[in-house]
Structure 1
Amino acid sequence: MSKALSLLILAVVVFAPPKPAAAADALHGKDIATRWCASCHIVEKGQTNATDQAPPFSYLARSPDFDQNKLAFLLLKSHPNMPQVSLNRAEISDLADYIRSLK
């Protein structure tokens, strides 16, 4: 490989704009919400089936103290009507990003 081509590839790698992680995280969070949460919570506009005992995600999004740590605590805390959900730290972060996007 020529030196000029090597430098060009290096420049592209170093100076390429980063991908927008927040948008991707929120999209992954929406997928998690749809898969794991939508049977009880209203997770997006237009959803019509949910239980009245689980708060809509838009309500959680407007809560002033909502953040990733609060969500992790809520998922770990025992809920009589909530199934055990095992999400890793990245998935909890993605789900929190999605919920925050509903403000």
Structure 2
Amino acid sequence: MRYLFSLALAALLAAFSPSAAFAADAAHGAQIFSANCAACHIGGGNVVNGQRTLQQDDLKAYLANYNDGHEDAIANQVTNGKNAMPAFGGKLNSDDIADVASYVESQSVNGWS
């Protein structure tokens, strides 16, 4: 009986956990990226400033708080922009931005291959 209760409780917690309910969708992020970001960041590069690519080492070097939360730091940059990068907070909703951040992080980890 105790085992069944533990199993049921674990299932409920998994079903209602924030990470399960709000997990970003990198595949959807790829579509959003293609439509909004790829003109400047094709293949993880940067046509405006070649020093500010989306390669993981560059993200670590110039994104504030990247080491504290990779996707949060990317989402902040996408939302608010900086320097030549425009802010997309008024164009994309928070779910789209989270999806783009997930996609960018997954690609940066894999070297944009």
Name the TM tier (shorter chain): 0.5 to 0.7
1:56 aligns to 2:53 (yes or no)? yes
Partner of 1:41: 41
- Code of the residue aligned with 2:74 in structure 1: it is L
Distance 1:91-1:61 versus aligned 2 partners, 3 A rule = farther
For the residue of structure 1 that corresponds to 2:55, the secondary structure is helix
What percentage of aligned pairs have identical amino acids?
Answer: 28
Aligned pairs, number:
78
Residue number in structure 1 paired with 2:80: 77
Question: Could you tell me how far apart the structure 2 residues matched to 1:27 and 1:78 are?
Answer: 22
1:45-85 CA distance string (max 9 Å, x none): xx8xx515163323378635252321232124343422332
After the TM superposition, which segments of 4 or more aligned residues of structure 1 sit over 4 Å from their partners?
none
Which residue of 78, 93, 97 maps to 1:92?
Answer: 97
5+ long unaligned stretches in structure 1: 1-20
- How far the C-alpha of 1:27 sits from its partner, in A, is 0.8
Structure with larger Rg: 1
1:61 and 1:98 map into 2 onto residues whose CA distance is: 16
Root mean square deviation of aligned Cα: 3.2
Summarize the Cα distance change of 1:27–1:60 in structure 2 as closer, same or farther, 3 Å threshold. Answer: farther
The structure with the largest helix share of the pair is 2
Tell which deviates more after alignment, 30-39 or 85-94. 85-94
TM-score, normalised with respect to structure 2: 0.50
TM-score by length of 1: 0.54
AA partner of residue 34 (structure 1): S
Which structure has more relative contact order (CA 8 Å, sep 6+)? It is: 1
| Amino acid of the structure 2 residue aligned with 1:59 | Q
Gap runs ≥5 in structure 2: 1-21, 61-65
